[in-house]
Each structure stands twice: as C-alpha cells, then as structure tokens.
A and B are shown apart, each in its own frame.
Chain A
C-alpha cells in the first residue's frame, strides 16, 4: 500500500472529482471531498516524511519502466510542494462551507467541489510527475478547472466582472501553457525524450543549438506568465479579486507556487547539467524581473482600495522575493526561496481567508468597508494582523526568517543594492498592511455595522491554524529551514559550476 502512495496522491482526488457530480447531494459531497482532501493531506505528510528520512522515491506508473512509461519522482523539493498544496487544499475546503454558500449559486455548489478537487489534482500532478509532457497535461487540468472556479464568482452576487477576469486569465493562461508545450516540443525534437532525468542527461550535448536555446526561452516565458511575475502579472489581480473568496485563498497560496516549482525543476533538474546561470543571461533576467515585481507589486498594493486586489499585488511582490532567491544563485538565497514558498503560502491563504470572512459580513472588501471591524470581528481581524505581520517580516514571524535569509543571500552575492530593495519593499508592505489595520482598529465605521460578526468556527479555525503556523515557523524555524537547506544543496549540487 505505502509503495503506491505516490500514485494515490493524484488518483484519489482525480477519481473523487467525477464522483462528486454523481453524488450531487450537497452534504454528502462536502463530507466526501473533505475525506478525500484529508486523506490526500495524510498521504503527502507520509511522503514528506519518507523522502526526508529515506531519500527520493521513484514510482513507475503501470509498471512501465522510466524512459518508456511515466515516472513519478518525488524528492524533497516536490514532497514539500505536495505537502503545501494538500495542506492548504484541506484547510481551505474546511473553511469553504459558509463562504461558498453565500458567494456561489446554490445549484452549482456540488460542481464547485468537483472542480476544486480537479484543480487540486492538477496541482499535485504537476508537482509529482517526472515527465515534462505529463506535467503539461496536469497544467491544463489545473488551468481549466481554475478558470471555471474563478468564473463562479459571478454567481449569486451578480458579479459579471468575475467572468471577464476568468476570460482574461483563460487567454493568458492558455498562452502560458502553449509557450510551455512549444518549449517541450522543441526539446523533444532534439532529444526524443520527455522524462526529466533523461532530458537532463541528453540536453548538454545539444545545448549549443538554437533550438534548445529557444526552447528554454519559451519555457521560461511561459512559466513566468503562470507564476505572474512582472510584466506578465496582469491576469492575477482581477482573477483573485473577482473569484469566490475560497478560490482566491486556495489559488493564491498554491497555483503560483507550483509555477515557481516548475521553474525550479526546469532550471535545476531538466537543464541541471548545464550551468545556465554562468552561460546564459537567465540570472540577470530573473533578478531584474524579480526586483521590478517586488517594487511595483508593493507600490501598487499600497494604492489599492479593493483589499483582495491589494493582496494580489502583494503576491506579485512576494513571488518577486522567491524568484530573486533563485536568481541570486547561492545556497542561502535559494533556501530563502524555498522557505518562502512555504511561509508565503501559509500567510497569504490566511489573509485571503480573513478577507473572505469580512466579505461574508459586510459584502465588500473595500478598505473603507473595513472601518471599525477590529471591534466587531476581533477574531478575524486579529488573524489578519498576525498574518500581515508575517507578510511584513516582523521578528518572530515566519516572514522574518525568509526575509533574513534572502537579505543574507543577497549580501553573500555581494549585491548591496538588491538587499536594499528587499528592505524597501518590506517597508512598503508595512504601509499597505498598516492601512488595513488603521481602518479596522482606529477608524469609526461610517454607518453602524450591527451585522458584522466573526464567522463560525468552520471559518476561523482554519484561518487561525494558518496564522498560528506563521508564528510557529517564525519562532521554531529549524524544521523548515533545515529542509529548505537540504533542498537548496541538492538543487545546486547537481549543477556544474
């Protein structure tokens, strides 16, 4: 049984998705999908434990050996990602009950669960697979289901903007997917291989061809689009702002992280035998894009009035941090990226959950509507503040650990200005989080908010689990940083310098 955990991780939610449509009865569907995501979470935790103690796992689907069949290959990096996705997936689903009941049309709720499970399947599959084409398949599963999920925001509250946002995301997401598959096609043309390990072995001999260089270009740009890095972030703000709160909480924490994972995989595994950072301008490009994302994302976040848009722009900045860590090309910076993948998933999901609760009671997520909520919704706003502090990187929060490592990484590469820009960006994040705190705690509401109350425990418990985790992993960073260091060493270790 345990030998088949890798495939169960993906197949379980995949099979469960159509079953949701068959069951249809809402309570049962909810219970069923909770069981499925809970099991997926347990599987991922087990896998993480196994990989951390016993080393990478390779699983041949249908017993076809690697180059012929599809291989699932789990090392520490994707084990961490699997853990993040299934943890957030599980918690957000617990959270979803009341929120989706208010935001999505009643007769589509069972479809929501089905799509949600599909989306999770896609994300898990992208991470777990060791085959670049299989990755594309899962990428499309993720993309298609998330377009539909975002469009559901148009349901009950008559919010046609959600459809536009979904459509815009569809066009750009497809563009990203197409770029990716063109890249894969070009690589296949030159090597005849789709398995990542195979590609890694075969690529160095053909890397001086323009075909492979173009392939790398297509891959990088396609993935950049998927992870919403500047200047290809335009789809993100509208998508997160218009989607149902539950969907934003899930996608903001996972979708872009998975794209970052793919980027890491391409750079350090598929092209791992080629010193990309030495021979190509990839590191310069990544650093420039990352820095622009950090500054532009934070600045734009400061001026947003819609708080979900604000968080989306803050995600742009945070993805900037993560990519910067990749581009700096040293072990400290890379482990900063990996720690931040995890930390940011926790805090951003908690923040979106808090906004979802605010939306439940005030029907708005404009900053103005949050005036005085500190009094009416103490539990929710306190969670927002805790997660917000972590986003800023206050000591004793997990964000501080990431920020510290990243600055240290920048200084180890001798890049003072880069370190400075990280700190500027974090100062800007103080401003945009502060504006919310100010509205919630120091301003009187324009009109009385008699109905604004904290949500029930199904909503605040998951929210607080994530917020508390942001503190926990800030105080006791040994585990996360230890794993991240191992991952970073493994990734960099394979690259010839």
Chain B
C-alpha cells in the first residue's frame, strides 16, 4: 500500500470524519466498510516492515512496525471495530461511534507502534477518546465516572511519559523493545502500562466507569484499553516475575467482586479484570508458550467478552434494566440473545470446543511446563471461579432463573448479526484453532484437545456448575436455615466464603475511605492557602511585596559570604 496513512491513524481519521457526515446512510456505510479496509491494510503490510514516519524532536518515529504479535492485536482490534460498529449501527449519538473509532484507531496504533513515543501518543489518544465514549451515555453518573476515569488515565499517561523520557535519557533511543524493571524509568513505564491493565491497586476504574457507558459503549470499552495494555506488557516486559503475582491477584479480585455483584454489566466488567489477570500471569511466566497463550487469550477474550457485553447490551436496550435481580426468564422471548450470550459464557469458562478453551489452556500448560505448581493450581481453581461468576451466573440470572414477566423481543438485525458473528467466531476458533495458532508470535505445535485435558476441564466445570446450583439459594441471598449434616457445605463453606470476601471488601473500603479523607483534608488545607483570600493568592499590599523583594536580595547577598 502506498501513501495510505498508518492503519491506526486511518481509522482515527475515519472516526473524526464521522462527526461531520449528516447522511445516516453514508455514515452507516463508512462504519461498516472502514474497519475492513483497515484490516486489509494491516494484512497488506508484509512482516518485518518498518516504516519511518515523521520526526519528533531528535528522533525518527516508527509508526508502523509489522510483526506477528503486532498484526495479531491489530487484526483483532479492527475486527472488534467492525463488529462493534455493526452492533452500534443504530446508535443515535454519533459522538459515541466517532469516539469509538478514534479509540480503536489508537489501539491499532499502539499495536503497530515501533517506538515508545508513538506508543505514548496513541496511548493518550485512547484515554481521551474512551472518555468521550463514556460521556456519550449522557447520564450524570456516567459523567462523574468518566472524570474519575480520565484523571486516573491521565495520571497513568504522565507516569508513562516520565518513564519513557527517562528511558530515552538512559539509553538514547526510543525503540520499543523488551525491557526489565531494573531502573526507575522502566519501573515507571511498567506502572504506566499496569494502570491500563487494571492491575492492583488500580483495578477499580474498570468497574467504576465501564458499566456507566451506553449499551453499545461498553462493548467498545471492553476491548481496547486493557488489551493494549496486555499487548505492551507482552512486548515490553515478558517474563517479569512480579506480573505472575499481580495477575493472580487480578484473577481472584475479579471473581470475588463479580460473585457479589448484581449489575449484569458490572459482573462482566469484573470478569475482564479476572481474564486480563490470566493474561498477565502468562506474561509473567514469559516462556514462548506462555506468551503465545497470553496473546491468544487476549484475541479470544476480546471476541467472547464483546459477545457477552453485546448480549447484555441487547437486554439493556430492550428492557432498560441492569440488575440481575430484576431480570430473568428472558429466554422465552429473546432466544437468539440467549443462545449467543450462553455461547459467550461457555467460551469465557473455556468450555471445550470454544475459543476460551484453546487459548487459556496454553497459559496453564506453560505454568505446568515451568513447574510452577501453585500457579497451576490457583489457575485451575480460578477457572472454576470464572465458570461460577461469568459462565453460569450471568446467563442464569439474566436469561433463565425466575420469570421476571418481561417479554422483550430480540434486538434489531444489526445487533443480532454482530452477536451471531462473534458467536460463530467463538465456536469456530474453539473447533478449529489452527488459524489462530498460526497468527501467534511464536511458532507452536500445541494441541489443546488431548483426552486428559478435556476430561480435566469438564470435571472442573461440572463440579463448579454443581456448586453453583447447590449454592444457588445463597447466591440469591434467600438463605433458609436447616441445621443438618449438609450444614458443612450449605453453611460453613459459604460462610467462610462470605466472611472472607466481606473482610476483603471491608478492608478495601477502609483503605479507600481513609485515602479519601486524607485527600479531602489536603484539598481543604490547600484551598485555605491558595483559594480566594488565601495567603498565596490574595492581593498582597505593595508593602509586603517590596519586603519580599528585599528579602530575596538579602538571601542573594548573604549566599555569597561562603
């Protein structure tokens, strides 16, 4: 391809152009066609291409560096832009689609960027564009959440920028290659990346902001920010041991909160943290198999998470209801949504013959190969947890369970088409994973479908499913008291679970309440000094100002008498 701008820039420009197109037909056509053109562009650039772009200060930027890892992420991002665009085709707020395309363009830009400055520029573009996506819900809650979101991401951006500049000063070049957190600058870069990945202690921005977006906005949001973070971690910090622990924390953080949550989209957002946790663990392990697994899982995850949030979005669109406790029984009137949502739920639980199975098992296998037994066990336990909160809880409470009496129809054709597309991909990749494996950064001859593996997984899932229905009364918070031998599993285990997770949450809330108090006090005391009539901002009399000048002069003169 000659003279086309880099794919990321191209998509972002399309996003901006969308704002100015008045004709709905033309707009729809552009929304559907442009991601495919971008996808074609990505595939038309041969491997190992390095395109030199413009100069920035003293350096030549490399806006496009094509290699298998970058292409994998750029491909899935443009696919997501297409499916998201299709899903949101009837969204009346053009600003949301426009921002979403800029956002997707930023993500593709990061995935193909060959140098840190380009990464940073697209990084900030994503932060701003995704904030606009959240605003487009136009509710007071979404506005407040988006401000918290923006502030955190700009803070992350600043940290990242400091790290990049430090790296440039130390190493004198800007190429984006793998690093290890051995110096301040690299630690700052890592922290900047991890903030976007939703790593502790910065996990809450996800569940805070994403569920406040519109029914289509959340679909876009779920795909890009955390997955670009996964990408840059794979590229920048493979095999960094601390990532294993951070990842494990994220895995369980997501499960605990998702199990206690009632808002269907927030459940799914918590499970993003959980799934990204799996990927981060893979990056921390850092072998070729593990990195392949993390990349493949990111690819699969974008599809099934997009699918799950689409089905949740379809329910929200038809019922205007977000709470699990008010939903239920929708399978009768929304069969297609139910089927698609269930396929997504099976995929996220890595049921055999779904995309989740073929990707997540790679990470577990990598842990086993490295003899990281505790990681393997914890990941296995977590897989059961995922099945509980996302695999069963979401579809059960939304589509089955009690009959809520609502009889909404399946969503319009475009939303259905987007869901069917992603559902087909989930199954397709699950049954026939070789094309995905061929895309991975490292050559692999991994075979997911071995007998012990499949049996293992099925056992795990069946028992987790059993546990769910046994615990169901408690899950609905309508516990009846019957003291018997079954007390052990009906009372004690749940009780330990409840107390443990409650303690965890109370602890977290205490910490955040304390932080809030300290922040509030600081702000108030700063205001006393700097605000209206404060010492540093009032109009000072000429007298004291002159004295100030004299004092400064004296300081100067005195400083000479060494």
Contact = CB atoms under 8 A, between A and B. Distances in A.
A221 to B, nearest CB: 5
Contacts of A302: 526, 530
Interface stretch (A56-64, A250-258, A401-409, A454-462): A401-409
Contacts of B548: 231-232, 234
Interface in B236-293: none
Interface stretch (B154-162, B369-377, B440-448): B154-162
Contact of A407 (B120, B165, B527): B165
Contact of A423 (B158, B537, B540): B158
B187 to A, nearest CB: 12
Interface stretch (A72-80, A150-158, A210-218, A375-383): A210-218
A399 B539 CA distance: 29
A309 B531 CA distance: 11
Nearest to A313: B537
B532 A411 contact: no
Interface in A344-358: none
B556 A217 contact: yes
Nearest to A411: B169
A419 B165 contact: yes
A291 to B, nearest CB: 14
Contacts of B165: 404, 407-408, 411, 419
Contact of B546 (A172, A216, A281): A172
Interface string B209-238: 000000000000000000000000000000
A176 B553 CA distance: 11
B555 A232 contact: no
Interface string A475-497: 01110010000000000000000
A430 B152 CA distance: 12
Nearest to B544: A234
Contacts of A419: 162, 165-166
Contacts of A405: 57
Interface in B515-562: 526-527, 529-532, 534, 536-537, 539-540, 542, 544-546, 548-549, 552-553, 555-557, 559-560
Given A168-B539, A234-B545, A427 B557 contact: no
A218 B530 contact: no
B557 A217 contact: yes
Interface residues of B, number: 48
Contact of A427 (B128, B158, B556): B158
Interface string A186-221: 000000000000000000000000100110111011
Question: Which of A285, A408, A478: most chain B Cβ within 10 A?
Answer: A408
Contact of A285 (B120, B184, B559): B559
B540 A234 contact: yes
A258 B335 CA distance: 72
Contacts of B544: 234
B552 A427 contact: no
B158 to A, nearest CB: 5
Contacts of A49: none
B560 A303 contact: no
Contact of A395 (B55, B120, B168, B555): B120
Interface in A213-253: 213-214, 216-218, 220-221, 224-225, 231-232, 234-235, 237-238
B121 interface: yes
Nearest to B125: A395
A173 B540 CA distance: 14
Interface in B354-400: none
B56 interface: yes
Given A168-B542, A218-B553, A299 B120 contact: no
Given A395-B120, A407-B161, A407-B162, A303 B530 contact: yes
A300 B560 contact: no
Nearest to A224: B552
A411 to B, nearest CB: 4
A472 interface: no
B337 to A, nearest CB: 34
B143 interface: yes
Question: Which of B147, B158, B527, B534: most chain A Cβ within 10 A?
Answer: B158
B124 interface: yes
Contacts of A309: 537
Interface in A418-458: 419-420, 423, 426-427, 430, 434, 438, 442
A206 to B, nearest CB: 15
A426 B158 contact: yes
Contacts of B168: 408
A225 B536 CA distance: 16
Given A232-B545, A394-B124, 17 more contacts: A164-B539, A168-B542, A171-B546, A172-B545, A234-B540, A280-B559, A299-B530, A303-B527, A303-B531, A303-B532, A404-B57, A407-B162, A408-B169, A411-B169, A427-B155, A438-B147, A477-B57
25 contacts: A168-B539, A216-B556, A217-B560, A221-B553, A221-B556, A232-B545, A232-B549, A234-B539, A234-B540, A296-B536, A303-B532, A395-B121, A396-B121, A404-B161, A411-B166, A419-B162, A419-B166, A423-B158, A426-B158, A427-B154, A427-B158, A438-B147, A442-B143, A478-B55, A481-B57
Interface of B: 54-57, 120-121, 124-125, 128, 143, 147, 151, 154-155, 158-159, 161-162, 165-166, 168-169, 184-185, 526-527, 529-532, 534, 536-537, 539-540, 542, 544-546, 548-549, 552-553, 555-557, 559-560
Top 5 nearest A-B pairs (CB, nearest first) are A303-B531, A217-B556, A234-B540, A300-B530, A300-B537
